[in-house]
Amino acid sequence: MKFTSRYIQGSLVAMTLTLGAAAQEAAPAPAQPAPPKEKQIVNRIAAMVNGRPITSSEVRSRLTPYIRELLMLYPKQGPRFNAELVKAKKAVMEDLIERELVLSECETRGMMLPDAAIDEEINRRVLYQFNGRRDLLLETLRQSGMAYSDYRESVRKEYLVAAMRNTRYDRGIPPTPDEINEEYRATKSDYRDITQDVITYDKIFIPAVSYDQSKSPDEQYALAQEVRRQLDAGEISFAEAARKYSADAHAEDGGEWPAIKRADLAVEFANIVFSLDNGKLTGPLLDPAGFTIVRVKSKKLAPAPPLSKVKEAVDDAVRRKQSERRYRAWVERLREKAVVRTFI
């Protein structure tokens, strides 16, 4: 499978816009035919649950972050990419189907949510799923063909499901202080402000097209793979490889980058590098301009909030774990009585 222009489309578009602006300043632009209308994303029905629709835009919106990360990890896609994508799509569909099953019960009980609670949940998702950048959320929705109002409605539904689940396990025995403390110790990192995490790494960047345009994206990717092989085999040090092969601004420094906050990195890239142990390599990763090999040097994670600030959430987490088997059995009973049809 060969690389196509879509891998460097972002860079080409930016270049075209810059050159176009310069040309307009130099001379009057000739008359141009009307541009073709942008293709509209069709919002089909992906599934029906007891007559309740799940739209394809909901599925796309949930899948988009996974796809971005998978494209970065598997530049040529292939079997592993496809297998991971199928797994992600199945998980998304199962989650949305379960959501609709539980929502039927919510409506029966007349459960409602204040707007402030929905706003708070959206803010939490922007923080943890988009590094605190609301513009990335909006861009993801645009790419999936989902309006913000529909996204807000989707969040409302998911929040209602969580509230309904609370009613299922609140009847259990309240957690003991020891159970709460143990849960907090095990999961306190999950409550951090992750946008304040800081990382240092070494980086080798190989452009998708060589600067003299003598090498194609496929040849450049093959070069990136060869560099990674040499690094893994110990045939060359990272600093030597950076100075020899990298087209990065820090190549002469051996590829060593200064510390950078997670919030200043692309979400997909941040998810990958922050998941690595110190000293580990990853890549070649795909980005809009080329291929990157990274070695993580150190990570400084933002501090966890004190238990006093997150005690309610930790309490909920303990109750959820205690009631998981009972909740799953209840959902299965709902599914047995339901009419579920999938179309994608």
Tens of pLDDT, residue by residue over 74-121, are: 988 888 999 999 999 999 999 899 888 888 777 777 767 778 888 888
Contacts of 317 (CB under 8 A, 6+ apart): 183, 187
At residue 19, does pLDDT exceed 80?
Answer: no
Q: Label residue 41 by pLDDT band (50, 70, 90).
A: low
Is the predicted pLDDT of residue 230 greater than 90, yes or no?
yes
CB neighbour class for 182 (10 Å; exposed up to 12, middle 13-18, buried from 19): middle
Per-chain mean pLDDT for the chain: 81
Which residues 6+ apart lie within 8 Å of 148 measured at CB?
138, 141
**Tell me, what's the pLDDT at 250?**
94
Say what the pLDDT of residue 57 is.
82
Check whether 164 has a pLDDT greater than 70. Answer: yes
pLDDT of 244 reads: 94
| Choice between 171 and 31, residue whose per-residue pLDDT is larger | 171
Q: Give pLDDT, residue 22.
A: 30
Residue type, 329: A
Q: H or E segment at 3?
A: none
Pick the residue with more confidence: 102 or 184?
Answer: 184
Side-chain-side CA neighbours of 4 within 13 Å: the count stands at: 3
Judged against a pLDDT cut of 80, whether residue 195 lies above it is answered with yes
Is the predicted pLDDT of residue 31 greater than 70, yes or no?
no
Whole-number Å distance between alpha carbons of 104 and 157: 10
Higher-pLDDT residue of 323 and 1 is 323
Q: What is the pLDDT of residue 167?
A: 67
Residue 261, strand partner residues: 198
pTM of the model: 0.66
Res. 42 pLDDT band, cuts 50 70 90: low
5-14, 102-111, 120-129: which is most confident: 120-129
Instruction: Report the pLDDT value the prediction gives residue 205, as an integer from 0 to 100.
Output: 95
pLDDT, position 6: 33
Does pLDDT of 52 surpass 70?
Answer: yes
What whole-number percentage of the chain has pLDDT above 90?
A: 36
**Backbone phi, then psi, for 286, in 5-degree steps?**
-95, 135
Q: Which residue has the higher pLDDT, 297 or 288?
A: 297
pLDDT at 172: 61
